[in-house]
Chain A
Amino acid sequence: DTGVSQDPRHKITKRGQNVTFRCDPISEHNRLYWYRQTLGQGPEFLTYFQNEAQLEKSRLLSDRFSAERPKGSFSTLEIQRTEQGDSAMYLCASSVTIFYEQFFGPGTRLTVL
């Protein structure tokens, strides 16, 4: 049994570039979440999918951010025209229902130079 996986684990990019992260949830989990965690803070919710439908988005998710889950399996999070303030750990989580815990992946650490 594999847990939630994320790729890449680390990404260094220059300001203004686009980046895309991938998340593969636990196979039977139909709910998938993205969070962002900056240094010294707890994770902050970005968006949530139930199967392929994106059902909730945080105000933190500006128009430079887009997330997809095209076939209800893996998800991608794209950040366009990256800014230094986007530097953070991006965490993906999945769950089988809302009544159970969310299982987190190892995260993608983004550094914008």
Chain B
Amino acid sequence: AQKITQTQPGMFVQEKEAVTLDCTYDTSDPSYGLFWYKQPSSGEMIFLIYQGSYDQQNATEGRYSLNFQKARKSANLVISASQLGDSAMYFCAMREGGGAQKLVFGQGTRLTINP
């Protein structure tokens, strides 16, 4: 079963608009972490933001915020005031608890920012 689902293969947004990238996850572990990474065409995975399952508040990092809805098992990434440099693939990932080390990634969303 898919543990991380990203239902938007591609998104097109006008520069300076806000954009929400969807991510739903599936786990029975009460302890887990959710991550968002950006992958530009150069290929390197760039860490954006992290949300722990016990965190009371939604994570924010600059223009990035994570809309964490635990009951719905969703962890959507919100990018405010989008810039041309935001054009890239975006991956949602989860690390389950119990000492698990690996990240499980979704299939990604390709975001294109139009001038």
Contacts and interface: CB of A to CB of B under 8 A. Distances in A.
Nearest to B105: A42
Interface in A41-93: 41-45, 48, 55-56, 58, 89, 91, 93
A109 B45 contact: no
Interface residues of B, number: 23
What size tier do the contact residues of chain A reach? 20 to 34
Nearest to B35: A101
Nearest to B110: A40
Contact of A107 (B37, B44, B91, B106): B44
Contacts of A98: 95, 99, 101
Interface in B65-115: 91, 93, 95, 99, 101-108
A56 B44 contact: no
Given A43-B45, A106-B42, A56 B101 contact: yes
A111 interface: no
B50 interface: yes
A105 B44 contact: yes
Contact of B105 (A33, A44, A48, A103): A44
18 contacts: A35-B103, A40-B107, A42-B105, A42-B108, A43-B45, A43-B103, A45-B103, A55-B101, A56-B101, A89-B43, A99-B33, A101-B50, A103-B47, A104-B46, A105-B44, A106-B42, A107-B44, A109-B43
